[in-house]
């Protein structure tokens, strides 16, 4: 492996890092709002909303993300109504098409994770809140949501990691994020191994940082599960 070339590669790939992060953060943030709405629709007990959310999840989880990206980026331009609408300046941009596809896709997966978190909240908690005189919205905000978040966080962490990986597909619709630059470098230099190792290292670093971040949030959200303080070690007589 050529160290000098690998270093050069590292700097050109690092320049593409902001775009990768931007794609991931934007689509995860927008997707989580939609996911919450979908999860609440499924639990609403209103048949039309429930059916809509079920169909949505079925469609988006059953088809490849790349097909969804192509449908939005290439497909929508087939309709003159879309081309003449006010959304066209956005839908013409590969960036927003990628964000839209990633967001719609992650919402389907995340809604199931959030739904699992919501139904894991014991009914007694809601009953107790109601007995305290809380309204429906306050119960949701103060009792249900915090506990659901705790339950859903590990699963959501996995979904965030797959989203970071999924941003690589944006390179297929011409966006020069890390994988896009890597593919360009490979086809220019034919040095596959170096580029692959450096690009892989960057993705691993992002995902490692993300895992740590989620673990930190998990520890903060679950103070009651933390290990007892170090005093127990002293009591056991292990200190010198």
Place of tokens 């809604």: 111
The DSSP secondary structure of 25-71, one letter per residue, reads HHHHHHHHHHHHHHHHHHHS--HHHHHHHHHHHHHHHHS-HHHHHHI
Residue 162's closest CA among 31, 1, 42, 4?
Answer: 31
Work out whether 41 is an interface residue with other proteins (CB under 8 A). no
DSSP structural state of residue 133:
T
Q: Among 17, 30, 176, 186, which residue sits at the site for other proteins (rule: CB under 8 A)?
A: 186
Of 44 and 63, nearer to other proteins (C-beta) is 63
Q: Among 14, 67, 230, 233, which residue sits at the site for other proteins (rule: CB under 8 A)?
A: 67
Residue 79 phi, psi (nearest 5): -95, 120
Of 139 and 161, nearer to other proteins (C-beta) is 161
Work out whether 66 is an interface residue with other proteins (CB under 8 A). yes
Question: Minimum distance from CB of 240 to other proteins (Å)?
Answer: 31
DSSP structural state of residue 2:
-
CA distance 50 to 45: 7
Q: Which stretch binds other proteins (CB under 8 A): 42-50, 85-93, 121-129, 166-174?
A: 166-174
Q: Among 7, 15, 54, 79, which residue sits at the site for other proteins (rule: CB under 8 A)?
A: 79
Binding site for other proteins (CB under 8 A): 58-59, 62-68, 70-71, 74-79, 161, 165-169, 171-172, 179, 182-183, 186-187, 190, 192-193, 196, 199-200, 203-204, 207-208
């Amino acid at each position: 492996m050529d160290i000098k070339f690998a270093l050069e590669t590292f700097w050109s790939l690092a320049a593409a890092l902001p775009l990768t992060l931007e794609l991931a953060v934007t689509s995860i943030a927008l997707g989580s709002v939609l996911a919450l709405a979908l999860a609440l629709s499924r639990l609403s007990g209103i048949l039309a909303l429930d059916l809509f959310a079920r169909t949505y999840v079925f469609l988006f989880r059953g088809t490849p993300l790349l097909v969804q990206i192509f449908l939005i980026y290439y497909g929508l331009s087939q309709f003159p109504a879309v081309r003449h609408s006010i959304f066209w300046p956005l839908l013409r941009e590969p960036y927003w098409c990628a964000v839209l596809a990633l967001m719609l896709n992650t919402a389907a997966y995340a809604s199931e994770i959030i739904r699992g978190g919501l139904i894991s909240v014991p009914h007694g908690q809601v009953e107790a809140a109601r007995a305290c005189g809380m309204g429906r919205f306050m119960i949701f905000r103060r009792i249900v949501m915090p506990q659901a978040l705790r339950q859903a966080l590990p699963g959501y962490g996995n979904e965030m990691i797959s989203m970071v990986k999924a941003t690589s597909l944006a390179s297929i619709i011409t966006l020069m994020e890390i994988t896009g630059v890597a593919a360009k470098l490979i086809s220019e230099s034919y040095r596959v191994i170096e580029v692959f190792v450096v690009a892989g290292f960057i993705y691993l670093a992002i995902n490692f940082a993300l895992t740590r971040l989620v673990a930190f949030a998990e520890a903060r959200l679950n103070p009651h599960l933390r290990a007892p303080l170090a005093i127990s070690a002293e009591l056991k007589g292990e200190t010198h």
